[in-house]
Structure 1
Amino acid sequence: MPLQASPDEYRLQFFKENSYQRKRCSVGGDFFWTLNSGFDTCQDVPDTDYWFDKIPSVPGLTVSEARRKFINFFARHGHTPVPPRPVVARWREDLYLTIASIVDFQPHVTSGLVPPPANPLVISQPCIRLEDIDNVGLTIGRHLTTFEMAAHHAFNYPDKWVYWKDETVRYAYEFFTKELGIPGDLIVFKESWWEGGGNAGPSFEVTVGGLELATLVFMQYRVENDNYVELPLKIVDTGYGVERMAWFTQKTPTAFHAIYGQLLDKVRSELGLPRPPDEYLWAAFRAAAKFNPDVEGSLDNFYSQVARITGANIGDVRGVLEREARLYSVIDHAKTIAMMLGDGVVPSNSGEGYLARLVIRRALRQLRQLNESYSLTNIVNMQVDMWASDFPQLKESRNYIVEAVTLEEEKYRDLLRRGEKLIVKELSQGADTETLIRLYDSYGVPPELIAEAAAKRGLAVSVPRNFYSLVAARHRAPAKVRSVEEKASLPEDVVEWARKFRPTVLLFHSDPYARAFTARLLGVRGPYFVLDATLFYATGGGQLHDIGTVEICGESYKVVDVQKVGNVIVHKADRDVSATECGDAKGEIDWVRRFRLMRHHTATHIILGAARRVLGSHVWQAGAEKTPEKGRLDITHHKPLTRDEIRKIEELANRVVDERRPITQTYMDRNEAEAKYGFVLYEGGVPMEPKIRVVDIQDWDVEACFGTHVANTSDVGGIKIVNVEKIQDGVVRLEYVAGTRVPEEMSSLEDRLSKISEEIGSGGSDELSKVKELKEELQRLEDTVKAYRSIWLSLAKNNLTSSSVGGVHVAVIEYPEPDVKSAREALKELTQEFTNSIVTIAVKQDKGYTYELGIGREAAKLVDAKDLIAAVGSQLNVSGGGRGTYGSFYSSESPEKIDEAMRKIINDIRSKTSKQP
């Protein structure tokens, strides 16, 4: 439960100096501060109607103008402007999307681990929130999936106080009155409480004429196990709605008119949609304040109220406003899609890619209901045009954005074509909300399509109005973020034991080319031991640990495993370490293994840089592994790589090797590194340290990386990509070898080619022509087999025509070849043509037959495959089963016996049904 804040938290000197009154809302009961003695509500919906269109302000501001006005105001008041971060939270491992400006600084700054980039600072952060995606459009602008949160932040340390509540409220008052021209007595500060990202604190919601324009949060607690722990760091966390400021000053009936202006008119025209009557929109503006889409019946009340205000027919009102809501949601979603893809998201079935696909598919669903033939790509492209000057990454990524959305549209159309077949088995008992979500997660099938398929079968499926919001909420963050200790394959008692030691000096970083070292023994626990310094690299960052030997007190041990616990390196010997009295240890790593690991790790960085240049900046590392044998890099990309793209990546990577680029490996302050390099730093993961180790391949690739690397790209020796495959939707895997592993891999390839030459009878230089001959011969054989299958199928049809039991064609036909797949294709054709047939095709196996059973549409009214196979099984030895019109079973019985049994069973069924009245 939220902490019950003391009223004293909200009693500010600013309020006292300016004679504010503390009142209690007569509707909702919230306390608020105001200069207006006539206010008896907190001026927030639903406690009051929207009436901000009647309130004076500066002339209408665009979104861009509102943003600039905010940043300039706070810059003049001593705040350093900080550029916004991506809408994909690349610096977080516990969150996919940037949902608020404070996310930029959680947890590394808010925890006190890292200082902020400036203090105080001002920022306008593009955000994406999908938990209310189903409400977008319905509430005429109260809900958006993409918006800008303008904010000023101050971080108050025990030894450095910046400012707190009074100054924050004073800034808000001054900004709204002087910059936006709002009368001071119409601005209300409503007492509230805020929680998010593990932090909490009292807050004020700034409301004017029914519209909340800002939230002023005073973050002073950390939430731990439902308890509030006071933070030593007190943080001013504000959020001003840039789009809401534009809406407020433009006085339009919806936020979408204020945000998108002429774009809204253009999309409406392109879709062939009529303009709604102005009185409908303004009536919706008045009624929207009381509309809560999460309350059952509220939407109907909303339409009814608009109908009462306008005197129009409620059916007409509903039709117009439903169409407008779809239009607004499509335009909103199109910008969200552009922003996500512009920041490098690749639509897929996992992570932030899953969320991008969710937005795309909801937009496509809404668009199809407006204009089935219009392309979403066109609208996304219009959004790129509109916002490119505000967000340059959109213009830079335009080709990728257009290509990715076009591909997603094709996938969606294909899904609609085959969607019903994917889900038909799931609909025997209908589908509840959990089933709908599972089918969407598994197949991407929209719930509306499931409901339509169910209705055809006489089943009622209710689709929750907030379906996409429910799905988005479940996928807002990774299921679990593993700690360093959880990643380490060490017993729990060893992890606890290791924590007591001081940090290990990492010799493998200071001199990765060193092979031997001397260190002091700090502790032993069975086969595990800790040294004060080590050359042995610990498993991490996708790179395997070093192995080698260590001499302790004159006794030699093999080092078989190395793990990291915090800043302590734990070594594992091949047996218990018995000698512990002396203090010295001498170690030597397996240099050949280490050098191969260094080469493969550096090759990973080189290939990633090459992939980004060949494929686009949307490419992001989705996983990596470096072993002595090879390297593996998984990258995000929206389609399989072509042979030409693979060749270009490999050529570019080897060019970098030949160019002898220096590789620097230095520790940098986190803020300095982010300011210099951006968030590509975190391709390989997000280290939670105030100083991060930056590996910089000159003018090519830079990452925060713990691994060992060569000092110059020439030391990689050479790179050969040996395998490329799509491992899941939106992720492509590249496998490669480097250095001396290249000739080894080529020797292996030569051996395989030699064996292939022997198998095909090639002389060693004419493999290609021989393969072409074999391919042509195979094609001739396939054509012959196809002809024979056609002849067999004609004979089978004749057999069916002449074999009847009580008007039903019953036949067990032996297939001429042991190919179950082609037998099933023949079965399908027979049962589709002979709808009143029961066909069984016998395929000869080693000691019996596989029987493929098909039942035509009309014959299926007589018997089910499951029951028929069970009846045959009661007479003969069979194993298998089926359902509906298809079944499969195995038996050692001959086709003649199966045929005899089936005919008898069908004849008995026919006899019983004919006797029924």
Structure 2
Amino acid sequence: MTVRELREKYLSFFESKGHRRFPSGSLIPYDVTGRLDESLLFNGAGMIQFKPYFRGVAQPAHARLTTCQKCVRTGDIDEVGDDTHLTFFEMLGNFSFGDYFKEEAIRFSWEFLTSPEWLALDPARLSFTVFETDDVAESAWKSVGVRHVFRLGEESNYWPAGAFSKGPPGPCGPNSEMFYWTSKEETPPGEGYTREEWERDEAAGKWVEIWNDVFIQYEWQGEPNASGKGYVKIAMPELPFRSIDTGMGLERTVLVLNGNKSVYDTDAFTGILAKIASVSNKESDTASRIVADHVRTATFCVADGVLPSNNGRGYVLRRLIRRAVLRGSRDLGAAEGFFATIAETVIEEYGGFYGNLIEQRSVIVETLRNEEALFRRTLAAGTERLGDLLASGETVSGNDAFRLYDTFGFPLEVTQELAAEAGVAVDLEGYEIALKEAQARSRGAQDMDTVYGGVSGDDEALPDAPLTTDFVGYDQLSSPARIVRKRKQGDKVSVALDQTPFYAESGGQVGDTGWLKAGDREIKVTATKKANNVWWHDLEEDLPLGSEVIAQVAEDRRARIRRHHTATHLLHLALRETLGGHATQAGSYVGPDRLRFDFTHGKALTEDERAKIEARVNELALQNAPVLTHVDITPDEAKALGAMALFGEKYGDRVRMVEVGPSKELCGGVHVRTAAEIGTFRIVSEGSAQSGVRRIEAIAGEAAQEASDEDRRILRALADRLKTQPAALAAALEKTLDQLKEERKRREKAESSSAAPSEETTVQISEVTFVTMDLGEIDPKTAAKRVDDATAGKPLAVVVSAVRSEGKVQFTAKAGAEAVAKGAHSGNLLREVARIAGGGGGGRPDFATAGGKDATKIPEALAAAEAVLRGQIGL
């Protein structure tokens, strides 16, 4: 059976049982309301996007859903390459929210596994486990004819694991796991088979788990214990409604059903591995598997909006890319660009089911190509760094070994191998400490024990407080409201209202500020944020729970934000028109002072591109198209209207589309009424945000006018200083700069002619001309010129210079290309020279610098340099 066949069979089966097929959530863990789960780095289970449904804070349009969810888990990244470990996998699932429960879920599972119409598995090769007190689940399995059902404890058959006694607080329940007999040498066990025998065989790998049904029926209530590392159980009442959450690992199940030894033998990887073989000139099964897994994961991550960086999800992605590039280049001999080439195959293999891979193809390919090129440059620097560490002859510290691994991509075994050749030890214990610290950072808060919720806060709330806030701020900036919730943290006070005109920070747009008016009091609102569709307003002073207030948004500030937000949409359109469809949003800030827009693009904008983009936005603003909003439509309806979803964003079942002339984007932010209200648009700066991502900062409206006024003031002041008119300022500046350049040349010439070396020695070492210079106290620029002059046009020359400054010394070495070919190495040469003067340093074979603490040692150090060079060239 293929991966595609199992995926389709599963989803079709549950559709036939009244379930609605629901799309996979993003790998960035947004839930169905569009809220980001801050406790997780990646989506690692099918139920993550449905948390609001399980908790009852949102109502699904359909009580029965089925999905195939993209998942990433990186806790076992160093195990990837064996037969079973993956960083990316697909999880099949069926869900019930207050509809069917244990008996029906179990009947569904049994039918799908054993029916000739579906998987047609031999019932004799199946076994099942249930929680030790779950009579209902055991009875349900036996009622369909199951022979082997075993009761196990909460670590195996409760979700989250161990939650029956240990928590954490939140929804929980017993589960039932399904296992398949994989042994080809032995027939499945018959009657009289005991739990002890089953546990022995399961530990031996004869029984392999293929499915898990979780029965969510309790609310675990407790509080943190004294240590702060666990919880004390208070109660575990039944939930108002009971739910089902199941998970079947797609790749693992295909592996088991086909009797394969390795998941890499399944069709999930055969096409990818074939492409890897075609771009390699060496063979390594382990390296090929690592590359296949990591390229697949990276491709899906970038498609969902994760970009390489040095923290969070981006750090994990960068580590995966670098690990694969190192393996591919070193162990497989793959040429630069192979990573993006293999990603193209992943897109072709999976794009039919996951359409965003096709939509984001250009972003994926460009991002991965740029990241590989960046790492190959870094890798070269790492090789040099390791050479410096080994040349010292001292133990490579644990931190240094881990830095080589983490920053430059050197696995520990490579560092050990090269260190052993140089007779240098590696601090393995220190390395393990540094590695564990990094793994903790990488995992972040990805503890699956928190998957159904965490500790509830100490909020005050009215008995009839609604679960969500009614936002009325699209149409009005002032409204009556009542304080229904209050949260105090130290001297900070936040309140939630039953309805509010305040926009809460989201989608890159800052939250509103303003006032709550209660009688004769006017309390300032300093920020507005939201969590679980509750708007929280930060106050400068306290107000009682239940207070009736008038909520008033700061109008001028909101107007500036609206101009910048609509300008952001037009900027996005202009970027795509000018640079191409790959230029998609990768982050933004929309505030009253400015806008910041990050977009995927591999190089700096040219002056012409920047001018065209700015002009296009101003052109669109002058056309004064009305700003239209299409509300409460489905994502598919918005797409049919031409809407572009933002890269990496998650949208709910119903969306809002903002249309400004040819620009159509899904957006929940606030905007002007017509494009002309934006006013003038100006790009303030353009630069690199990170590898493969550029950043534009811009201003519009009043902010742009204020900047223009300031520009005119500065131009007038400069013109006055240069005694000219603003229109002639450029010519006056050019003339002044030319005069300064000529003066600088005269000074350098005078210094150079008066700065004769106190000592210069030239010796011939075989074919190599070796020059040492004691240059006394001269400026570094003049000293560098003397070294350049001494080697110019002399490929067999090696020069070492010394410059004094305040009792210390700065050494410089330079070697011609043919001298380097004969063994000369400037970095290693200076390392020995500088040590004599109480210092250190190093560098490349052709050029290096080093410092010393004792300038009196210069003669001795320069004399030693000749002996070191003779040793390098074998004389």
Specify the TM-score bucket, using the shorter chain as the normaliser: 0.5 to 0.7
Change (3 A) 1:472 1:364: farther
CA shift, 1:418, in A, is 1.1
Take 2:270 and 2:857, find their aligned partners in 1: how far apart are those partners?
Answer: 74
Q: Select the residue among 447, 470, 474 that pairs with 2:441.
A: 474
Partner of residue 10, structure 1: none
Partner of residue 321, structure 2: 360
Partner of residue 9, structure 2: 69
Change (3 A) 1:415 1:860: closer
Retained in 2: the 8 A contact 1:813–1:840? yes
1:255-334 counterparts in 2 under 5 A? 255-260=263-268, 263=271, 266-267=274-275, 270-271=278-279, 323-334=284-295
Q: Does 1:543 align with 2:510?
A: yes
1:819-858 counterparts in 2 under 5 A? 819=781, 822=784, 839-842=801-804, 851-853=809-811
Find the residue that maps to 1:353 and give its secondary structure.
helix
Partner of residue 128, structure 1: 72
RMSD between superposed Cα atoms in Å:
5.4
Q: Does 1:371 align with 2:346?
A: no
Partner of residue 701, structure 2: 739
Q: Select the residue among 41, 49, 61 that pairs with 1:96.
A: 41
TM normalised by structure 2 equals 0.68
CA shift, 1:674, in A, is 6.3
Retained in 1: the 8 A contact 2:525–2:540? yes
Find the residue that maps to 1:624 and give its secondary structure.
strand
**Deviation string for 1:141-184 (max 9, x for gaps)?**
x222332211111122xxxxx22223222222211222122211
Retained in 1: the 8 A contact 2:584–2:599? yes
Take 2:601 and 2:30, find their aligned partners in 1: how far apart are those partners?
Answer: 17
Take 1:143 and 1:887, find their aligned partners in 2: how far apart are those partners?
Answer: 47
Partner of residue 208, structure 1: 180
Partner of residue 81, structure 2: 137
Retained in 1: the 8 A contact 2:95–2:244? yes
CA shift, 1:626, in A, is 0.8
Take 1:342 and 1:732, find their aligned partners in 2: how far apart are those partners?
Answer: 18
**Deviation string for 1:587-606 (max 9, x for gaps)?**
98764444223323443454
Partner of residue 352, structure 2: 389
Q: Select the residue among 125, 148, 169 that pairs with 2:90.
A: 148
Find the residue that maps to 2:120 and give its secondary structure.
coil
**Deviation string for 1:872-917 (max 9, x for gaps)?**
xxxxxxxxx7668966589xxxxxxx86676599999x9xxxxxxx
Take 1:499 and 1:824, find their aligned partners in 2: how far apart are those partners?
Answer: 81
Report the residue type matching 1:337 in the other structure.
A
1:98-247 counterparts in 2 under 5 A? 98-106=43-51, 108-139=52-83, 142-156=84-98, 162-178=99-115, 179-191=118-130, 192-193=156-157, 194-195=159-160, 200-210=172-182, 211-220=208-217, 225=224, 226-227=230-231, 229=236, 232=239, 233-247=241-255
Change (3 A) 1:399 1:138: same
Partner of residue 47, structure 1: none
Take 1:382 and 1:466, find their aligned partners in 2: how far apart are those partners?
Answer: 38
**Deviation string for 1:637-656 (max 9, x for gaps)?**
55544445544544454455
CA shift, 1:425, in A, is 6.9
Q: Select the residue among 296, 303, 307 that pairs with 1:346.
A: 307
CA shift, 1:75, in A, is 1.0
Report the residue type matching 1:99 in the other structure.
G
1:758-797 counterparts in 2 under 5 A? 764-765=726-727, 796=757
Report the residue type matching 1:171 in the other structure.
F
Retained in 1: the 8 A contact 2:624–2:674? no
Identity of aligned residues (%): 23
CA shift, 1:114, in A, is 1.4
Change (3 A) 1:238 1:267: same
CA shift, 1:79, in A, is 1.2
1:660-809 counterparts in 2 under 5 A? 660-664=625-629, 696-697=658-659, 700=663, 702=665, 705=668, 708-729=670-691, 731-754=693-716, 764-765=726-727, 796=757, 799-801=760-762
Report the residue type matching 1:235 in the other structure.
S
Change (3 A) 1:261 1:509: closer
Find the residue that maps to 1:259 and give its secondary structure.
coil
Change (3 A) 1:121 1:434: farther
Q: Unaligned stretches of 5+ in structure 1?
A: 1-60, 157-161, 275-319, 481-492, 803-807, 870-880, 891-897, 911-917
Q: Select the residue among 397, 411, 415 that pairs with 2:374.
A: 411
**Deviation string for 1:546-595 (max 9, x for gaps)?**
46897964x9x79584566964645438xx99xx9xx9988987644442
CA shift, 1:344, in A, is 3.1
Retained in 1: the 8 A contact 2:528–2:537? yes
Find the residue that maps to 2:53 and give its secondary structure.
coil
Report the residue type matching 2:352 in the other structure.
S
**Deviation string for 1:308-353 (max 9, x for gaps)?**
xxxxxxxxxxxx8xx2222233223332232222333322323333
Take 1:499 and 1:712, find their aligned partners in 2: how far apart are those partners?
Answer: 41
Change (3 A) 1:533 1:765: same
Find the residue that maps to 2:267 and give its secondary structure.
helix
Change (3 A) 1:816 1:397: same
CA shift, 1:414, in A, is 0.7
Change (3 A) 1:528 1:335: closer
Take 2:504 and 2:273, find their aligned partners in 1: how far apart are those partners?
Answer: 57
Report the residue type matching 1:661 in the other structure.
P
Retained in 1: the 8 A contact 2:783–2:803? no
Partner of residue 83, structure 1: 23
Count of residue pairs brought into register by the alignment: 732
Retained in 2: the 8 A contact 1:633–1:735? yes
Partner of residue 141, structure 2: none
CA shift, 1:635, in A, is 4.7
Take 1:531 and 1:86, find their aligned partners in 2: how far apart are those partners?
Answer: 29
Take 1:560 and 1:203, find their aligned partners in 2: how far apart are those partners?
Answer: 47
Report the residue type matching 1:195 in the other structure.
P
CA shift, 1:473, in A, is 6.2
**Deviation string for 1:526-554 (max 9, x for gaps)?**
9999898999858844536546897964x
TM normalised by structure 1 equals 0.65
Partner of residue 458, structure 1: 423
Retained in 2: the 8 A contact 1:543–1:626? yes
Find the residue that maps to 1:509 and give its secondary structure.
coil
Find the residue that maps to 1:405 and give its secondary structure.
helix
Q: Does 1:630 align with 2:601?
A: no
